[in-house]
Amino acid sequence: MAFPYAEIENKIGYVFEDKALLKEAFTHSTYANAHGGKDNERLEYLGDAVLQLVVTEWQYKDDERASEGELTRERQLLVCEDALYEAVQELNVKGYLLVEGSRANVGKKTISSLFETLIAAIYLDGGYAPAKSFILRYGRLRALTKPQNPKGELQEYLQKRGEEPPTYESKKTGKDNEPTFYCVALARGRSATGEARSKRAAEQIAAEKLLQILKNED
């Protein structure tokens, strides 16, 4: 079965010149050992460094009053496993991971590392600018550092216009110890989807997307 390059590129918003880098980003060591080729471990190492730089630069410019200690603690939250896992979930690309054996053995760390391997692949293919753009677009920066309530903001937005409040439809998949929640937010005949490890987070992501859609229409 051919590797779905175009499908992934559409989801991540970047088209590769060197397609081999994209495939390498999704190649787990078990798959490389069984079928040959490069695994993504070296990309993960490079991606971590690029991520640290971009996040640090963003912090430095975003909050001029924070101390070094505050910035360090905040950065730990921005680049931690949970943050990267949420980013991969939002991109909905974990299913493309090439792994040998049962996918049930693929843990959270392996999934979260895909964000770093994609960063590195984009960096090697196109340079710092597109890698930075990818991180700022899909990283969980604002969501983790700024108090947000997209569900509340969406409801308030609709109320001010005399419209019906939004509704949410959710479903749960996966194992009990590592579930995935899918949510659809609906309002004004429009809808948006969210995917996360908790129902609340999935609803917030869906609400945030739907709010942006409605704002673009008004």
Among 39, 48, 86, 195, the active-site one is: 48
Q: In a 3-state reduction of DSSP, which class is residue 169?
A: strand
Does residue 106 have a pLDDT over 70? yes
Instruction: Give the end-to-end CA distance of the chain in Å, rounded to a whole number.
Output: 44
What pLDDT shows up at residue 145?
52
Spatial CA neighbour of 112 closest among 70, 82, 92: 82
CATH top-level class of 150-217: alpha beta
Spatial CA neighbour of 25 closest among 84, 113, 128: 113
Domain definitions of the chain by residue range? 5-145, 150-217
**Residue 83 vs residue 26, higher pLDDT:** 26
Examine the residue annotation and report whether 90 is marked as an active-site residue of this protein.
no
**Long-range pairs for 184-187: beta carbons < 8 A, 24 or more residues apart:** 185/154, 185/209, 185/210, 186/210, 187/154, 187/158, 187/163, 187/214
Among 44, 116, 195, 203, the active-site one is: 116
Span 164-209, pLDDT tens digits: 999 999 999 888 777 888 999 999 999 999 888 788 888 988 998 9
Confidence tier at 142 by pLDDT (50, 70, 90): low
| Domain topology for 5-145 | Ribonuclease iii, N-terminal Endonuclease Domain; Chain A (1.10.1520)
Examine the residue annotation and report whether 63 is marked as an active-site residue of this protein.
no
**Residue 128 vs residue 146, higher pLDDT:** 128
- CA 81-82-86 angle, to 5 degrees, is 115
Span 56-70, pLDDT tens digits: 999 888 777 777 887
